[in-house]
């Protein structure tokens, strides 16, 4: 759970009840804000962290404030729709305005759009080609390509469906998606490759342990590739980011390019807040 500021943290902020006239000192100090707004933000953040409606005393304990103080803020938050109180139980949760704000924020910060910018950044920094893929009916589908290094001769274009078991992109989806959702694709490729379930399970375990899928020459001879998923806010896989380089072992674990790729993917996940749901 988020670490919330203590009740003594916001002492140097501008008081909401203070006169509207702003002094020269206040005008110069752009760091100052409105204390009650920031306290409200702390309470709303706590409501976000609770996965269920919460009693007043538990919410007050989480933000290190007195129940009476939290109750006063909640009264205003309920009136404007940022919080909600159950009439029968008295428990508090997020209100309809909070839901509206969340949906609007998602619409304006689409993870696939942001992942496309991440792909371009990685391609340039690691002097590699790459693509973005989403999950389709028959497997991973390429929806965007970028080139930041030596050209790679390949038949993979937009709309290409990548193999699930033999491509870095496919293995990234394989390691991150619920088995039940992709079982039909797994079985179809198992029949072609003559792989048993133990081989697939071992591939999933190894990919998760590395934190990224890595292959060498399985699709294009001499091609080194790496891929990792990025997630929606609900923890579902949104897309996978893949890079390819003609240098042998370029993306192998322990090499600089592998570490750089993993660092950027992890930072993106943290900044977006899309943590994976975990194994299913």
The angle subtended at Cα 133 by Cα 223 and Cα 155, nearest 5°, is: 45
Is residue 274 pLDDT above 90, yes or no? no
Q: What is the pLDDT of residue 242?
A: 96
Q: State pLDDT tens for residues 188-205.
A: 999 999 999 999 999 999
Sign of CA dihedral 61, 62, 65, 70: negative
Q: State pLDDT tens for residues 220-271.
A: 667 899 999 998 877 889 899 999 998 888 999 999 999 999 999 999 988 8
Element housing 170 (H / E):
helix 168-176
Q: State pLDDT tens for residues 129-177.
A: 999 999 987 899 998 889 887 766 666 777 888 999 999 999 999 999 9
Task: Give me the residues paired with residue 258 across strands.
Answer: none
Is residue 20 pLDDT above 50, yes or no? no
Give me the domains of the chain, ranges plus CATH numbers: 24-106 (1.10.10.10), 109-272 (3.30.450.40)
Residues 6+ apart with CB under 8 A from 8: none
Q: Is residue 32 very low, low, confident or very high in pLDDT (cuts 50, 70, 90)?
A: low
Q: State pLDDT tens for residues 72-127.
A: 999 999 999 999 999 999 999 999 998 888 767 666 658 888 899 999 999 999 99
């Amino acid at each position: 759970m988020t670490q919330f500021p203590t009740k003594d943290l916001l002492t140097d902020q501008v008081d909401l009840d203070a006169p509207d006239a702003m002094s020269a000192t206040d005008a110069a100090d752009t760091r100052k804000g409105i204390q009650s707004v920031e306290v409200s933000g702390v309470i709303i953040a706590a409501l976000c962290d609770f996965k269920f409606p919460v009693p007043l005393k538990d919410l007050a304990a989480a933000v290190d404030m007195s129940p009476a103080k939290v109750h006063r803020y909640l009264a205003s938050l309920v009136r404007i729709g940022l919080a909600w109180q159950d009439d029968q139980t008295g428990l508090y949760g997020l209100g309809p305005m909070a839901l509206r704000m969340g949906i609007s924020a998602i619409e304006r910060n689409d993870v696939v759009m942001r992942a496309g910018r991440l792909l371009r950044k990685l391609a340039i920094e690691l002097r590699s080609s790459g693509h973005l893929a989403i999950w389709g009916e028959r497997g991973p589908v390429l929806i965007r390509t970028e080139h930041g290094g030596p050209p790679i001769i390949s038949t993979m274009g937009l709309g290409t469906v990548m193999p699930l078991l033999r491509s870095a992109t496919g293995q990234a989806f394989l390691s991150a998606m619920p088995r039940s959702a992709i079982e039909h694709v797994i079985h179809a490729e198992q029949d072609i490759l003559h792989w048993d379930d133990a081989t697939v399970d071992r591939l999933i375990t190894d990919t998760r342990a590395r934190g990224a899928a890595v292959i060498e020459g399985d699709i294009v001879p001499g091609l080194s590739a790496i891929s990792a998923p990025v997630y929606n806010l609900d923890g579902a896989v949104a897309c996978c980011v893949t890079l390819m380089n003609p240098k042998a072992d370029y993306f192998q674990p322990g090499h600089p390019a592998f570490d750089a790729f993993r660092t950027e993917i992890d930072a993106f996940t943290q900044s977006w807040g899309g943590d994976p749901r975990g194994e299913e």
